[in-house]
Amino acid sequence: MLLPRHNRQPFSCYLIVLVIVLFSCEKTKYDVIIRNATIYDGSKKPAFSGDVAFNGDTIVAVGDLSNSDAAHLVDGKGLALAPGFIDTHSHHDHGLLASRDAISVVSQGITTIIVGQDGSSHFPLKEYVELLADSPVAVNVGSYSGHNTIRGLVMGNDFRRPATSDEIARMETMLRQDLDAGAFGLSTGLEYDPGIYSSRDELLVLTKVLQPFGGRYISHLRSEDRYFWNALDEIIALGKSSKVPVQISHFKLAMKGLWGKADSAIQILDEARTNGIDVTADIYPYPYWSSDVRVLFPDRNFSDEKEAEFILTEVTTPDGIIFSDYEPAPHYNGKSLAEVASLEKLSPEKMLVEVVRRLEACEGARGNCAGSIVATSMVENDIMKLIKWDYTNICSDGSSQGLHPRGFGAFTRTLAYFVRGKKVFSLEEAIYKMTNLSAKNLGIKRRGQIAPGFFADLVLFDASIVSDKATITNPQALSTGIRKVWVNGVEVYSDSLTSKRYPGRVIFRE
C-alpha cells in the first residue's frame, strides 16, 4: 500500500536515517579493555565490579563497558585490578640497566620506583636520566638527589667534621643542578658516612634550596635506635624551618628501649602535622633491616667491646645478625654472628668488633668493601601501628641483590600477611597505601589511581592467594598471585614471565 503523496519521503532520507541508526549502534573501540575485574581504584572506596579501558598510555573509561570493544580484550575473571604499586623508597636501580625487565619489581606489581635514597644517588642526575632515555626499562623511575653523594664529592676523604660555609655553598650548587634535572628533592642517610658528620645547620641550608623548586626532603633518620627521639625532632624541625614536605624513610623503632613506643612517635608526628608541618613516612613489612654492619656503631667507636655488648643486648642479638654480603670473608654470608663467633672461637661482642676491624682494613686496602648484614631489631606490634598511621605508605627499601627478601616481596607480603593474615587493614586501604598515598607523598600526578586521564599503570592479581615467597635463605623467590602488570599501557609481566618490553619512563618532580 502506498503512502499518501504528502507522507512520502525521498529514498535518500531513509538512507540517512539508516546510516545514523547503524552508526549509533556501532561499539566504541579502545586499544585495550580489561573486563570483569574487581576494581580497587586506589581511593580507599569499596571495590566494585567493572571494566577498564585504555588507549595508548592512558586510562580512558572505567565502569560497564559491555557495549564497547577493543583491539585487545583481557578477561579479568573477577580478579583484583589495582593501580600499579609505587615504591617510594627503592634501591632497585642497582643493576637495572643490565636487567631492564626489572623482574624483582614487576613480579610484586610495582610499576614505579623512586631511587636516590638514603643519601646516595647518581650524580649528575642529568646523565642518569639520559641513560634511561637511551635504554628505557620496564618500570617508571624517578630519583632524589643524595646528600651523602654530593657531600662526599665536595669534602672527599676529609668528611669527619662539619662542612664549611664554602663547602655547603658548593653542595647547594650541586643540589640545584640535580633539581634542574628533575630530582624529587634531597635524600639523606644520616646514619652513614659522610652524612653522619653533617650539622643540622648544613641540612637546613640545603633543605631551604628545595622550597622554590617545590622539592621534598626524605631521610634515613640520624638514628633509628639510641637517639631516635632527637632524630625525629630533627626532621620535624627541618620541615618547619624549610617549609617543604619531609618524609621519614623506612619508619622503625629499632631497639628494645623503643619497643612499644609507636603511639608516642605517632602522637609527635600528628602534633607536627596539626602545626602545619607536612611530615609523612614510608615503611616495609618486616621486623629486620639490612645495612652496613658499621651502622650499629653510631659513635663510630668500633673497637669498644662494651658498645658491642650493648648492641648485642639492646639493639639486636648474635643470632639476629645474618651476614649477607661481607667481602672480607664471603664464607660468612648466610651465617649469623653467633655462628661465626663459634667458628672463630670468640665471644659475640669480640667477633662483632673483629668483623668491623676486618671491614675497615679491607676498605683501606681496596677502597669500597661490602659489609652488609640483615639484622632483627623491631617487633610486630610497633610495625602494625606504624604501618596503619594515616600518612605512612608502603615501600620496599629493596634491591635485586642481597639477602633481605624485601627486594622481591615487600608489597606482596603486605597483601598476604597484613591484609589477609593479620587483617591489620582492608585490601582497599592497603592498595591506597601502595598507590594513591604514595603518589601524594611524592607529589606525583596522574599515577596511583584508576580513573580516566591517569596513566595505565595497572596490576591484576588474585587477592585470595597473592603472597611473597622470598626469604633470607631464598631472597629472590618470585611472589605468587600477580597475574598481569601494565606500565604506561604496555603489558610487562604475565604469570611469572616478563614480556621483554620496556615502556617505563623517567618521571620528574611535578
pLDDT in tens, 235-255: 999 999 999 999 999 999 999
Statement: residue 31 has pLDDT above 80: yes
- 3-class DSSP state of 374: strand
Average pLDDT over residues 81-95: 97
DSSP 256: G
Q: In percent, how much of the chain has pLDDT > 90?
A: 93
- Distance (Å, whole) CA 174 – CA 163: 15
Half-sphere exposure of 256 (CA within 13 A, CB side): 8
Q: What is the DSSP letter of 314?
A: I
Starting at the edge strand found earlier in the chain, the sheet holding 185-189 runs 145-146, 185-189, 216-220, 246-248, 279-283, 392-394
| CA gap 93, 70 in Å, rounded | 35
**pLDDT-based confidence at residue 28 (cuts at 50, 70, 90):** confident
Residue 22: pLDDT above 50? no
The confidence score (pLDDT) of residue 458 equals 99
4-8, 47-51, 353-357: lowest mean pLDDT where? 4-8
**15-24, 170-179, 388-397 — which is least confidently predicted?**
15-24
**DSSP letter string over 2-57?**
PPPGGG---HHHHHHHHHHHHHHHSPEEEEEEEEEEEE--SSSSPPEEEEEEEETT
Structure confidence at residue 364 as a pLDDT band (50, 70, 90): confident
> Per-residue pLDDT for 353 more than 50?
yes
Using 50, 70 and 90 to split pLDDT, how confident is the model at 366?
A: confident
Rounded distance between C-alpha atoms, residue 16 and residue 24, angstroms: 12
Over 70: is that where the pLDDT of 382 sits?
Answer: yes
Q: What is the mean pLDDT of residues 304-321?
A: 98
Strands 145-146 and 140-143: unpaired
Would you state the cell numbers that stand for residue 162, as one nine-digit string?
662539619
Query: pLDDT value at position 13?
Result: 44
DSSP state letters, 286-303: -SEEEEEGGGG-TT--TT
% of the chain exceeding 70 in pLDDT = 95
Tell me the pLDDT band of 3, cut-offs 50, 70 and 90.
Answer: very low
Residue 17, pLDDT above cutoff 70: no
Distance CA 65, CA 46 (A): 20
Banded pLDDT at 15 (limits 50, 70, 90)? very low
Checking if the pLDDT of 400 tops 80, the result is yes
Is residue 5 over pLDDT 70? no
Beta bridge partners of 70: 30
Cell of 115: 631511587
Rounded to a whole number, what is the distance in angstroms from the first to the last CA of the chain?
71
Is the model's pLDDT at 308 over the cut of 50?
A: yes
Residues 6+ apart with CB under 8 A from 273: 279, 391
pLDDT above 70: residue 467: yes
What's residue 2's pLDDT?
Answer: 38
pLDDT of residue 506: 98
**Residue range 278-299: average pLDDT?**
97
Calpha distance 421→424 (Å, rounded): 8
132, pLDDT greater than 90: yes
Phi and psi, residue 130, nearest 5°: -65, -35
Name the pLDDT band for 367 (thresholds 50, 70, 90): confident
379 alpha carbon, distance to own chain's centre? 21
**Given pLDDT bands bounded at 50, 70 and 90, which one contains residue 495?**
very high
- The count of other CB atoms within 10 Å of the CB of residue 210 is 25
Residue 377 pLDDT level (bands cut at 50, 70, 90): very high
Name the DSSP letter for residue 144: P
Question: What integer best gives the mean pLDDT of the chain?
Answer: 94
pLDDT attached to residue 26 = 64
Say how far apart CA 387 and CA 414 lie, in whole Å: 10
